[in-house]
Amino acid sequence: MVQSGVPLCNTCGEQVGLNDNGEVFVACHECNFPICKDCFEHELNEDHRVCMKCGTPYEERTKKEEEEEDFHEIEVHENQSTMASEISNSQDVGLHARHVSSVSTVDSEVHEESGKSFWKNRVESWKGKDKKNKKKKAAPKVENEASVPPEQQMEETRHTEASAAPLSVIIPMSKSKIAPYRTVIIMRLIILGLFFHYRVTNPVDSAFPLWLTSIICEIWFAFSWVLDQFPKWFPVNRQTFIDNLSARFEREGETNELAAVDFFVSTVDPLKEPPLITANTVLSILAVDYPVDKVSCYVSDDGAAMLTFESLVETADFARKWVPFCKKFSIEPRAPEYYFSQKIDYLKDKVQPSFVKERRAMKRDYDEYKVRVNALVAKAQKTPEEGWTMKDGTPWPGNNSRDHPGMIQVFLGHTGARDIEGNELPRLVYVSREKRPGYQHHKKAGAENALVRGSAVLTNAPFILNLDCDHYVNNSKAVREAMCFLMDPEVGRDVCYVQFPQRFDGIDRSDRYANRNTVFFDVNMKGLDGIQGPVYVGTGCVFNRQALYGYSPPSMPSIPRSSCCCCPSKKSTTDGVYRNAKREELEAAIYNLKEIDNYDDNERSMLISQMSFEKTFGLSTVFIESTLMENGGVPESADPSMLIKEAIHVISCGYEEKTEWGKEIGWIYGSVTEDILTGFKMQCRGWKSIYCMPLRPAFKGSAPINLSDRLHQVLRWALGSVEIFLSRHCPLWYGFAGGRLKWLQRMAYINTIVYPFTSLPLIAYCCLPAICLLTGKFIIPTLSNVASLLFLGLFLSIIITSVLELRWSGVSIEDLWRNEQFWVIGGVSAHLFAVFQGFLKMLAGVDTNFTVTAKAAEDSEFGELYLVKWTTLLIPPTTLIIINMVGVVAGFSDALNGGYESWGPLFGKVFFAFWVIFHLYPFLKGLMGRQNRTPTIVVLWAVLLASVFSLIWVKINPFVNEVDSETISETCIAIDC
């Protein structure tokens, strides 16, 4: 019987077993690398006395054995060239990394009878040699300390002080704010328990179906509240120190040590995502306050549109003027459209005499640039029959957006054009991945993964910042804010990404449809930051590239890649446990191969194939070597003249076949909300994320303010959550084997996937008031004094919880109310449709294709806000409003006929009906439009439904009491008629 919690041996695949004390056997006490006792003794007998993972000598060896191992290492070092030549001579077939099948002819030759490969022996000796070399290099440094001049010692002291200064601090919530908040949550939980005890033990026999329905709905609402509330138990704030970052990594007279960043911008349809908006995002990136040689901007054109390419050509030319202007005068924001549209006094803090003149000139240049881009858009409205042609007369390769080769074009950068002042500009790269019929391209997630591979070949920055095409850089120091966490050796080691909140332009002041989503970004995300970190929300996020490659955090050993608690496979477990160890071995082997005189690419390719890295990352030796470079940079072995060709290869549509892309590494496939799934997989491996909220918002974007567009956006998010719920990555059961996802964090992820199912009880609960008014029945019996106190305590606890939440988060009461309203609007429409579509996709294979939400190129006084676009999503809320209004009218009519005694029960029913109407009021207002006009179809629906429900009510409970024939006869006899 397999013992739980005992790891598997790296060599033989069996359980490690227990030692004499009954504890799990541990060979290396440094890294706890799993190896069983039999294999460990075999290693000692074979004179392998160092840990296979970290290279630390085993404690059991003696001094004499150490001397023998040193002698053995010297022999290995002297014979490295001989071994390399023997291995290369054994490859008569011309082995290459892209032909995995030919590796099998070498496997049998390089493996020993014990199952331990020849390469592993070489790697062990190399790692031991590296460790000794490091010790030898460190020794002279100590001896020469006394000879350092006093001036240099003072400079080193200042550098030491700068290195000791914190880059960020955590500011916990004050006890005066958080203690009452937690106390009220516990009290509310107790009151909920007493409330449900009363409700269950006091059924309403006269309306049992209605009572039972209400009980089920209320229990689900309480469950949803627990999932949403308790992950906010540890909210924190963070503060960054950008000056300390500069003092530590940007010392005067020394090489700039700030880490490089690759920006990813994704776009699909230039007619729905105007090129001018994408161009503003690109310009804000190129002008960011960061060393130009550390910034590269990759624009993914997943629609292969020539319009996007030509607009980038114009953008690159305009950037030569715009970037130096931004940096000279330190303007904010650095997206020209939004900078010039600011209604502020731009002369206020500008002391340079030339500023006014240069600003006016730049405004003219930008207007001319806009004319050129808009002319391209107008030209692209009608596609020529023969397709688009480029300036040299050749056809545009992307004329067929579903069947075209991969395209890469590098603008600006190290070898490109410089700005008008002769300074270097950041690199700008256009990327359109290959598309072919018959391949699954995985939409945005697939495009992002293609960018990961292409950027790794060309620049390979250690950090990646991804933005939607309509999210521009609003704070030029945003990258530095993120680096305060990621480059901190104490904080950044286990951080997979730094998430910034989303902020939006062009939203009406009242935020009718909760487009700003303030409650989520300022309350929920702060709470998660105190646990294991915020969830990834798809944009405005800076990634650690190594985390995207599926590695575990450096501070902990690897865990199985497929850590589903239901059916973990042995193969996936053994592969996942040792991927980090394989990476260290491969890194050491490739590094030492460079010291061999007759080293060639074939030997490197064979080594990579032997380590099975091609099965994980694909058939590209350049890309695989780039994954080993934690600090970034292009591998030295890569030929610069072949990088573009290699980048084209890694973005081909067949590159991901039979690899782990989209399964364990990169953006994860299987849901239209790939962001939630990707962040969840990282945190299941033990990574942490950080929420960064600078005073000036880092990024700003646009949101669909039209009611129909907003509902379709929410429908897409909710459908993605349902897909995750129905997949193997469901947080209810995925990721338990490693035990690295904290329980409150898991509770938050469960909340992100089950919230669409709240639509079913919400629809039922919103119908109950109308049904009660139409039938004259009620879901609550006559209240006693104790029951009245319970209801009063429940309502007060809800109100106090909200007030205290507003107190520590800084969210306004209006934002909270708008969020509550749209929770009902979206719940009874978009979430309901998402549940049905998700089950249709799972059971019947019916997939729903979503169109890209259109972005407005200019803000035209909220014109979209008042535009009514009819969609089926509007039917359920419209129906609920009508039946509740009909119910209220029927209830008052019944009370007028019933006399004084009927008014008491009426108020409870009307209260719940008005609760529904008030929550749906923004929907009703949006349905009326600016001129208070509704579409004809809405009027017809209203009249039809009102008539049907009125007739039903009359049939069930007419105005006059029914009088049977017996009553009439008795009356007649009494009066002697």
Stretch 538-554: mean pLDDT: 89
User: Annotation-wise, does 132 bind a ligand?
Assistant: no
User: Looking at the predicted structure, is the pLDDT value of residue 11 above 50?
Assistant: yes
Percent of the chain with pLDDT over 90: 30
The predicted-structure confidence for 166-211, as pLDDT tens digits, reads as follows: 888 998 888 888 999 999 999 999 999 999 999 999 888 888 888 9
User: Once rounded to an integer, what is the mean pLDDT over residues 583-612?
Assistant: 57
Q: Distance (Å, rounded) from C-alpha 717 to C-alpha 622?
A: 37
Higher pLDDT, 472 or 704: 472
User: Which residue type, as a one-letter code, is found at position 607?
Assistant: L
Q: How far apart are CA 467 and CA 541, in angstroms?
A: 7
DSSP 489-519: TTTGGGEEEEEPPPEEES--TT-TT-TT-HH
Task: Measure the CA–CA gap between 410 and 427, rounded to whole angstroms.
Answer: 7
pLDDT digits (tens, 9 = 90+) for 736-754: 876 788 899 999 999 999 9
For 893, residues 6+ apart whose C-beta sits below 8 A from its C-beta are 959
Compare 810 and 54 and report the one with higher pLDDT. 810
- Letter string b/e over residues 684-702, b meaning 16 or more CB atoms within 10 A of that residue's CB: bbbbbbbbbbbeebbbbbb
The predicted pLDDT at position 51 comes to 76
Question: Mean of the pLDDT values across residues 232-241?
Answer: 92
**CB atoms inside a 10 Å sphere around CB 226:** 15
Banded pLDDT at 139 (limits 50, 70, 90): very low
Q: Is 137 annotated for ligand binding?
A: no
Across residues 583-595, what is the average pLDDT?
57
Structure tokens, 479: 């990258």
For residues 252-274, average pLDDT? 88
Measured CA to CA, the distance from residue 522 to residue 808 in angstroms comes to 10
Q: Is 273 annotated as a binding residue?
A: yes
Range from 37-46, 136-145, 899-908, 917-926 carrying the lowest mean pLDDT? 136-145
Residue 103 clears pLDDT 50, i.e. is over it: no
Q: Is 302 annotated as a binding residue?
A: yes
When pLDDT is cut at 50, 70 and 90, the band that residue 463 belongs to is very high
In the beta sheet, which residues pair with residue 436? none
pLDDT at 581 (0 to 100):
57
Distance set, CA 304 to CA 285, 372, 376 (Å): 22, 20, 15
- pLDDT tens for each residue of 551-586: 888 876 555 444 444 444 444 433 444 456 556 656
C-alpha span between 59 and 50 (Å, rounded) = 9
How far apart, in whole angstroms, are the C-alpha atoms of residue 786 and residue 883? Answer: 33
Give the whole-angstrom CA distance, residue 237 versus residue 173: 7
The pLDDT, as a whole number, for residue 81 is 39
Is 511 one of the annotated binding-site residues?
no
Mean residue pLDDT of the chain comes to 77
Q: How far apart are CA 534 and CA 527, in angstroms?
A: 8
Res. 596: pLDDT tops 60? no
**Which residue, among 130, 95, 129, has the nearest Cα to 109 in the 3D structure?**
95
**pLDDT value at 2 more than 70:** no
In this prediction, residues 241-263 reach a mean pLDDT of: 88
11-25, 49-63, 145-159, 891-905: the lowest-pLDDT one: 145-159
Average pLDDT over residues 579-608: 57
Q: Look up the pTM and report it.
A: 0.77
Confidence of residue 116 (pLDDT cuts 50, 70, 90): very low
Q: Which residue has the higher pLDDT, 870 or 403?
A: 403
Mean pLDDT, residues 275-279 taken together: 92
Residue 366: pLDDT band with limits 50, 70, 90: very high
Q: Give the separation between CA 310 and CA 426, rounded to whole angstroms.
A: 19
Rounded percentage of the chain residues whose pLDDT exceeds 70 = 71
**Among candidate residues 324, 297, 429, 316, the one with its CA nearest the CA of residue 372:** 316
Length of the chain, in residues = 977
Name the residue with higher pLDDT: 472 or 41. Answer: 472
Q: How confident is the model at residue 31 (pLDDT cuts 50, 70, 90)?
A: confident
976 is in an annotated binding site: no
- What's the pLDDT tens digit per position in 789-800? 888 999 999 999
At residue 300, the 3 state secondary structure works out as strand
pLDDT in tens, 693-740: 999 999 998 888 788 888 888 999 999 999 999 988 899 988 787 678
Q: Which residue has the higher pLDDT, 22 or 670?
A: 670
Task: Give dist(CA 694, CA 205) in Å, integer.
Answer: 57
> Is the pLDDT score of 220 beyond 90?
yes
Helices 674-684 and 707-725, axial angle in degrees (round to 10): 40
Q: Mean pLDDT throughout 780-788?
A: 81
Does the pLDDT of residue 627 top 80, yes or no?
A: yes
Model pLDDT for residues 932-949, shown as the tens digit of each residue: 555 556 556 666 665 666
The pLDDT, as a whole number, for residue 512 is 83
Which amino acids are annotated catalytic?
302, 675
Average pLDDT over residues 595-624: 67
Instruction: Consult the annotation and say whether 572 binds a ligand.
Output: no
Asked if omega into 554 is within 30° of 0 (cis), the reply is no
Q: Which of 133-137, 423-427, 647-651, 866-870 has the lowest average pLDDT?
A: 133-137
Give the pLDDT score at 217.
93
Residue 115 confidence (pLDDT): 37
The residues with which 475 forms a beta bridge, in sequence order, are none
pLDDT category at 384 given cuts 50, 70, 90 is confident
* 959 has pLDDT over 70: no
688-691 β-sheet, strand order? 407-412, 427-432, 295-301, 261-267, 463-468, 541-544, 495-499, 688-691
Determine the pLDDT at residue 118. 43
With 50 as the cut, is the pLDDT of residue 369 above it?
Answer: yes
Query: Which pLDDT band holds residue 431 (cuts at 50, 70, 90)?
Result: very high
Mean pLDDT of 686-697: 92
Q: Check residue 107 and give its pLDDT.
A: 36
* pLDDT for 358: 87
Instruction: Look at residue 851 and tell me whether its pLDDT is greater than 60.
Output: no
pLDDT classification of 237: cutoffs 50, 70, 90: very high
